[in-house]
Amino acid sequence: MSLSGGQKQRVVVAAAMLSGKDLIVLDEPTSGLDHAHMQQVGQLLQQLKQAGKIVLVITHDEELAADWCDRVIQWNDKEERGR
């Protein structure tokens, strides 16, 4: 049996919830998810927050950030590199 990309993402979020760590870093937690599952991940983020966890989310998903994150740091790298 193999998992879809969305199923793998949900497993990662579930493992983070069960880890017992105070700081949880999630890199693109909604990648490959449809809207309904994105909402579930957002609700899980809220549960982690309510449990006193610090959750750092790295994402290109502006909707997720706007809807579910307390603070957003937007990183725009417009400088040329290699000079």
* Other C-beta atoms lying within 10 Å of the C-beta of residue 7: 13
- Both structure tokens of 78: 């417009």
**Would you say residue 69 has pLDDT above 80?**
yes
Determine the length of the chain.
83
Q: What percentage of the chain exceeds 90 in pLDDT?
A: 10
Q: Can you give the pTM of this predicted structure? A: 0.73
Between 17 and 65, the more confident residue is 65
Task: Report the alpha-carbon distance of residue 2 to residue 20 in Å, rounded.
Answer: 27
CATH value of 5-68 in 2.70.98.60, 3.40.190.10, 3.40.50.150, 3.40.50.300: 3.40.50.300
**Buried b or exposed e, range 31-43, using 16+ CB within 10 angstroms:** eebeeebbeebbe
